[in-house]
Amino acid sequence: MAMLLQPLWTFVLGHAPLLRSPFFPVLFSLCVYLSFCLPFLLLDALSTRWAWVLRYKLQPQSSVSWSSVRRCLALTLYNHLVFIFPLTVLHWYLRPVHLTEEAPPLPRLLAQVLVCLLLFDFQSFAWHLLHHRVPWLYRTFHKVHHTYTSTSALTAEYSGTWETLSLGLFAAANPLLLGCHPLTELAFFVVNIWLSVEDHCGYDLPWATHRLVPLGLYGGARHHDLHHLKSKCNFAPYFTHWDRLAGTLQSLQFLGPISS
C-alpha cells in the first residue's frame, strides 16, 4: 500500500531543501490557508449580486466588508511573522527535519490523520470551553476571536497570540505524539486548515463536510456559525460528540430564526 503514495512522496522529496528550511512551516501554513480562503472570499463578493449564492449564506443579512478583510489579514500575518516564525526557527534548530525515503502506507496515513483530527478536536473543545466558562480567560484571550458574530473564511485565524499559539501547539504536537510520517503530518495540516476555514466560511454549501459525514457526527459551518452568534453552545471545532456529552450541542432548527 505504500506504493500508492510513493510517487507523491518522491515528488515531495524533490523539494527537500525547502522542506528542511526554517521558512517552510510559515510559508506552507499561510499559502494553504489563504488558498482555501480565496473561494469563499469570491462567494462573499458574489453574494451581494447573485441570489443563488446568498441562499447558502448562514446569515444572509450580513456582508463582509473590505475593512474586515484587511483587519483579518493583518492580524494573521502579524501572528505568523512575529510569533509563529521565531518558534518554528527554534524548533528547526532543536529538532532538524528527518525525511525518510519511503512513503507511508495509505491506510496508516488515513488512520493517523483521523486520529490527529480527533485529538485536536478534543484539545480544542477543552481549551475553548474553559475560555468561555472562565470570564477572565475569555476577556483576556478569546474575546478577540468573537469580534465577528457573523463568520467568514478569514475569521478562522482572527485570534489573539495566546489562542493562535495554543491551537498551533495542539496541531503540531499530535503528529509528533503519534510518530507520523512527514507526509502524514503535511496531510493532517492541510485537512485541519481546510476544516477550520470551512467552519468559519459562513456558508452551508451542498458539498459541505457536515453533509458528507453521516449521523450528525460532524458539526461544520452551521454549528460553528451558531457558536459565534450565540456563544454558549457548540464548542468543539469539528465533531459533535463532545458537545453532545457536555450538553452544549445546539442546532439551528431548535433555536428558530437567526438574528444578529
Give the span between the Cα atoms of 166 and 168, in whole angstroms: 5
Other beta carbons within 10 Å of 259? 7
Spell out a b/e string for 151-181, using b for 16 or more CB atoms within 10 Å of the CB, else e.
bbbbbbbbbbeebbebbbebbbebbeebebb
* Every domain of the chain and the residues it spans: 15-246
User: Can you give the pLDDT at residue 183?
Assistant: 97
For residue range 215-242, list pLDDT tens digits in order: 999 999 999 999 999 889 999 999 999 9
Task: Give, as one character, the DSSP assignment of residue 240.
Answer: S
Nearest to 224 by CA among 210, 213, 245: 210
Three cell numbers, residue 152: 467568514
Give the span between the Cα atoms of 258 and 260, in whole angstroms: 7
What are the φ and ψ backbone dihedral angles of 216, each rounded to 5 degrees? 65, 25
Three cell numbers, residue 145: 476571536
Cβ-Cβ contacts under 8 Å for 149 (sequence gap 6 or more): 228, 229, 260
User: Can you give the pLDDT at residue 257?
Assistant: 36
Cβ-Cβ contacts under 8 Å for 77 (sequence gap 6 or more): 30
Other beta carbons within 10 Å of 70? 11
Q: List per-residue pLDDT tens for the chain, 260 residues long.
A: 668 899 999 999 999 999 999 999 999 999 999 999 999 999 999 998 888 899 999 999 988 999 999 999 999 999 999 999 999 999 898 888 899 999 999 999 999 999 999 999 999 999 999 999 999 999 999 999 999 999 999 999 999 999 999 999 999 999 999 999 999 999 999 999 999 999 999 999 999 999 999 999 999 999 999 999 988 999 999 999 999 999 999 986 544 333 33
CB 156 within 8 A of CB 197: yes
Nearest to 220 by CA among 56, 64, 30: 56
User: Can you give the pLDDT at residue 253?
Assistant: 57
For residue range 56-95, list pLDDT tens digits in order: 999 999 889 999 999 999 999 999 999 999 999 998 988 8
User: Can you give the pLDDT at residue 2?
Assistant: 61
CB 176 within 8 A of CB 102: no
Give the span between the Cα atoms of 181 and 62, in whole angstroms: 43
User: Can you give the pLDDT at residue 96?
Assistant: 87
pTM reported for the whole predicted model? 0.93
Give the span between the Cα atoms of 13 and 7, in whole angstroms: 10
CB 187 within 8 A of CB 103: no
Give the span between the Cα atoms of 68 and 75, in whole angstroms: 11
Measured CA distances, 166 to 3, 33, 123, 126, 220 (Å): 36, 18, 10, 12, 21
